[in-house]
Structure 1
Amino acid sequence: MEFTSKTEDVNDTKAAGCDSKLFVLWREVVMAYVAPATMAGIGGLVTGDRGLQIAALTTIGGTSALAACMLGLWLRRRGVHKRWIISADRFVVVGLFVLAGASLGVLSAWVTLCLLGVVWPNDHLAWFNRVWFDFPLSATIVSTIITWRWHNSVKKNDLSQGENRK
């Protein structure tokens, strides 16, 4: 016996013959934080780099989770209404979102450094030097993964609804 919620969004629906949910935002956000934070933390332990260990939990994991949440929310709310995103080739859509994610990562690093640079001098915060690398890289990786998985789930959902209409 299977219980499903009547309030499931179009992205949380199950495809025909599929036993698992396709795209669930909170799972994506948790994994967007845990996966890079774990890998960077292990890298920091192996190399003995305390700055990388701290960045794993803050700038790397935090940026990844925030970018995944913002992108996932936009795709769930607005992306399903844009037919060109759904009908276009997955590589084109992912490529566009990767460019946008990298650009927003650079922009957010610049804004962060400008705003916090006024309040705190650069030499007092150890993670200041990492922001130029961590923000764009995290946003790029997350944009790739989230867009790829969302586009895949929407395509599967679209195909399963097309089969049900016949």
Structure 2
Amino acid sequence: MLIRFVSEQVNTNTDGSFHSVRDGKELNSTVLNNPVEPESTFRKKAGENHQGYVGNFAETVDLDTNRKIIDSFDFQPNIYSDSKFAKDEIQKMAEEGDETTLVADGAYISVDNINEAAEHGIQLVGTAMTGKETPDLTADFEIDEETKR
């Protein structure tokens, strides 16, 4: 860990001796933050600094009973993008043969993800939510089985 720390955060002379500490602008988000958690990363998101990891959960909703169950989760360094989490979930659903609708907030949606989902018979639907603070809202809605809308 010490060798990694020095190689990532210290400038050395050609003979290997200490020259200077690297400017923070030279460091990327994967440099060693904590030797106890060497894979931990940092990033700035929505104007706030975040260090560590990020989790993603997916749930299945039975439209007949409205029962919900978390059936998938993932845990990654926090530089893992929401779009990549969506791509991973699409792959899991495709492997399981799920032909259904996947609803996700706006940060998970991309043209590539929509197209990949469609290739596997999955309709990827994005909401207007993009991870920003929103008021508590509730609504009743029904999905038309024929149009899936």
TM-score, length basis structure 1: 0.29
- More helix by percentage: 1
Rg: which structure is higher? 2
- More strand by percentage: 2
TM-score, length basis structure 2: 0.31
* Larger RCO, structures 1/2 (Cα 8 Å, 6+ apart): 1
